[in-house]
Structure 1
Amino acid sequence: MTLSESAAAPVNEVVLEAVGLTKHFPVRKRLRDLFSRTPTAVHAVDDVSFALRRGQVTALVGESGSGKSTVARLLAQLHRRTAGDIRLHGVSTTVRGGRAFRSYVRRVQLILQDPFASLNPVHTIRYHLTRSLRIHGNAGRTAEDLEKALGELLTRVSLTPAERYLDAFPHELSGGQRQRVAIARALGADPEVLLADEPVSMLDVSIRLGVLNLLRDLKDRLNLAILYITHDIASARYFADETIVMYAGRMVEGGDSETVTQNPAHPYTRLLIESAPDPDRITGAADATGQDRGNGEPPSLIRPPAGCRFHPRCPHVMPRCKVDLPLRLEIADRPGHWAACWLYDPATVAAEGSASAAPDADPTIGPPPAARTGPRSSAPAVPLIHRAEDAR
């Protein structure tokens, strides 16, 4: 599908879909484990399901080691999935290389995190872009067609005049310019989906907004579906239409970005937001009620804890959390907002609501998060980074 056909396709059409996506990396056994019949593996991703739609950005948010980048590489078919399915336009897709893989990556392109390592330092920008155009059959038939295509690619990523950059080497460009070249290289395939694996985390803070605005402009003009992987939940609110939060390989919350970031439901999402720098908030290990804020390390993914994987750090842990894997439960505040947390199970809400109404209940503690009906005040609002018009 060409860029013109992609731009004319209906907005919100599901392009790429992950269904129960799972990836376990086998671990080499040690000498004392040679006679053990129990397979040892890192549970990097477990049962991840979401859809990427045309003209929309889906953000995958979580701390380091939560499985975000593994999800991107699974969708790019760089890793073989252990279980689950990847559907391109509703069709199950598995590629192992060769022509099938080339046909797939023509529609689904991955933008890597580090622009310093994603470009070959011994080749010019012309070489990188020409190779992309020729591999995917977009270089034209003549030298003039190729030069025109190269100029259009650099113009799309706001590197003008093109002649200034085509014969430059990667080390002669800034980090932001290198990342724009990496984006242009991905656009050389005329993709329908961009998998952006933390595309601004390696860049200076002063130029991150420009790259995000570029991706937003490309999404609108070319009707692309974008997966935006980040650990910065504030940029997810600014850039993404939908936000999904991951912890220890599992999805724990999802919904539209404004709701997830401003009215978080899952305790991990609340703690993730509280970790964002806020000069108006005094940091500490406990909140005003003296509750623990979830200190500790993420669990081992070789032997993940039973039940909810967040329960060893959760300030609202219940006995059920240590045994039963939480289901995806709808939150009543906004349509499509859900959390995988037993606090929002109707039975739990009813039981804790009656306990808080008991005569001997402690009035200083207040109702649990599941019983609150208004905006949750214990999780501070995510500061919104500057809009595009403020950056001009």
Structure 2
Amino acid sequence: MIAKEDRKVVVTGMGMITPIGNNVEQSWRNLLEEQSGIERITLFDTKGFSCKIAGQVKDETYHTDLPYSRGTYFGLAASKEALEDGNVINDADILDEMAVFLGNSGARTGLDEFSGEFKARNLKELTLRNLNSDRQFDKSRYSAAAETIAKEFKLYGGCYSITTACASGTQAIGMAYESIKAGENTVVLAGGCDAMITEIDLMGFCMLGAVTSEYNEKPSKGSRPFNKDRSGFVLGEGAGMLILEEKKHALDRKAKIYAEVVGFGNAISGYSILDTPPNGENLAQAMEIALAEAGINKKQIGYINAHGTSTRDNDSSESAAVTRVFGEDTMNIPISSTKASTGHLISGAGAIEAIFSIMALKDQCLPPTLNLEDIDGKCSLLHIHKPLKSTIDYAMSNSLGFGGSNASVIFRRAENEL
């Protein structure tokens, strides 16, 4: 048994499906080519909605008659790619001991179909008996996505469903990392998935004033993180999944290693359900915890993938948090929000942004923030406007969730000998 302090955790496989690509390679390429996946919503009639745009997945293999929800389908697709990429999809011994840590929005993964039922029937007539029933009920359980992934790929090392809204994906990765460090698991499939482009969800976000309503005729301009005229986030959908593995185990099986997970921080804010404290103190706490665990100097962070939702209070609060943590070095650390390209995947956001951070380390190229034309003075950071070649060893990815969850994870570039 390797002592806890000696157990290192590496990333040996990745998979994703996003509004800008149906796999990691395509999504990463389109991100660097400054493509936007945000368009007019086609999944349902948006008449009566103030926001009519979203980042929809363009996967042509998706069919509505599949026996699981849209969000679960995305999780399965990303998981399959990650398991194939990690060269474990046919290794029964590894799969049998692999745990699943999945960030998701709980019952919302099945709301796409419930929306149709609500429209078709009088609310009083809705019962489990007439709701297309056990299949429909199974799709909308809080743990359905994680359990479906575990059953589909025969992963029997444990199944954990994390529901902390927009921080879910990052927390799933962080908790998986901690479980390997503690010796509880050796190989874990971790990440997040979501599909909240539904009538019910969009209605709620419109009522809250959280989504933009000003760019319905120019969808690609809708997500504008850190820009002075930002007016709300844009929903996205998809999934990101990573294989996390104890390093010696990965080396013994000669696995491809993308990066090492070196730090994870988690903190809660009691400030507001929707907003974070203006001074960013709780996200700052999560970043400080992650940095302390990584055991590195703050100056060694070469890139930050910001949560950057394009909402006014969130972006300024996150900017305050970054400044609070990095102080005089703030303007030396490049930062970007990839949500400007993908939209906000909610529970899947942290997972795809972790993968983008790892790809930045791998390719030594930092992705830009689209639509950053006039930076808000409250968001004065070293923003990336165009893809930036840079020599970096460490990347940080931040997530903030509705309800006050804050999470930060740090990755280290894989060494040559790996």
The structure with the greater share of residues assigned to helix is: 2
TM-score, normalised with respect to structure 1? 0.26
TM-score norm. by structure 2 comes to: 0.25
